[in-house]
C-alpha cells in the first residue's frame, strides 16, 4: 500500500488544500511526544519528506484537539467496521492522513480516500491503490466521483474537517447525493 519518498520535496498546494498540513503536522508532533495519542508514525514520515515550513501552521488550531478529534473518528470507524466488516468507507477530504493505516480494516472493507486531484497526486507519493483501497481525485462538490463507488453495501462516510469549506447548499447537496446512493450507512 505504501511507497516511500526519501528526498524532501516542495508541495505546491493553495487555499483549503494547504490546510491539510495543519492536521498532518499535529499528528506528526503527537507521534514524537512521550505519550502519543495516535502514534501516527506515517504522519511524521510524510512531514519529514516535505520541504515546507511547518512552523507556519503553529497559529492554526489547537494541535491537541486535532489529534483527539482524529482519535475519536478512528474509534468510531473501528466500531462501525467491527459491526459491519464488509462496509464501504468513504473518507472525504482525506488529505495526507493515514487513517487507513491506523484502522487496518479487514480485506472485506472497500475503502475510498477522496480529495482534490492535486492532493491525491501528492498522496500517491506515500500510498498506493490496491484491490480494496482506492484514491479518487475530485472536489467533493463534483457529483461524478460518486459513480465510482459501489452502492451495494452499507457505508461509513467520514468528513473530518471539510464542511467548513463548503456552503450550506453544498453540504445539503452532498448529503442528498450520499443518502440517495447508499442503501444504508452512517456519517461521522
pLDDT in tens, 131-165: 999 999 999 999 899 999 999 999 999 998 889 89
Report the topology of domain 15-187: Rossmann fold (3.40.50)
Strands (E), the chain: 88-92, 110-115, 133-137, 155-158, 185-187
Residues 82, 36, 72, 12, CA torsion sign: negative
Annotated domain spans of the chain: 15-187
CA pair distance 96, 54, nearest whole angstrom: 14
pLDDT of residue 17: 74
CA pair distance 57, 41, nearest whole angstrom: 19
> Is the whole model's pTM more than 0.85, yes or no?
yes
Mean of all residue pLDDT scores within the chain: 88
What are 85-127's pLDDT values in tens digits? 999 999 999 999 999 999 999 999 999 999 999 999 999 999 9
User: 174 is written with which cell numbers?
Assistant: 452532498
Burial group, residue 157, by CB count within 10 angstroms (0-12, 13-18, 19+): buried
Amino acid at each position: 500500500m505504501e511507497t516511500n519518498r526519501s528526498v524532501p520535496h516542495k508541495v505546491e498546494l493553495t487555499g483549503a488544500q494547504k490546510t491539510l498540513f495543519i492536521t498532518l503536522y499535529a499528528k506528526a508532533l503527537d507521534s514524537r511526544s512521550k505519550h502519543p495519542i495516535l502514534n501516527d508514525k506515517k504522519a511524521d514520515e510524510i512531514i519529514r519528506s516535505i520541504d515546507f515550513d511547518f512552523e507556519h501552521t503553529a497559529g492554526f488550531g489547537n494541535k491537541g484537539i486535532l489529534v483527539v478529534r482524529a482519535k475519536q473518528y478512528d474509534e468510531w470507524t473501528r466500531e462501525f467496521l467491527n459491526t459491519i466488516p464488509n462496509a464501504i468507507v468513504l473518507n472525504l477530504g482525506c488529505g495526507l492522513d493515514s487513517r487507513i493505516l491506523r484502522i487496518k480494516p479487514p480485506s472485506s472493507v472497500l475503502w475510498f480516500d477522496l480529495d482534490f486531484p492535486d492532493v491525491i497526486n501528492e498522496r500517491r507519493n506515500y500510498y498506493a491503490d490496491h484491490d480494496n483501497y482506492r484514491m479518487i481525485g475530485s472536489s467533493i462538490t463534483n457529483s461524478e466521483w460518486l459513480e465510482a463507488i459501489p452502492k451495494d453495501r452499507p457505508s461509513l462516510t467520514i468528513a473530518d474537517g471539510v464542511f467548513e469549506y463548503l456552503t450550506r447548499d453544498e453540504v445539503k447537496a452532498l448529503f442528498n447525493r450520499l443518502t440517495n446512493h447508499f442503501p444504508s450507512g452512517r456519517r461521522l
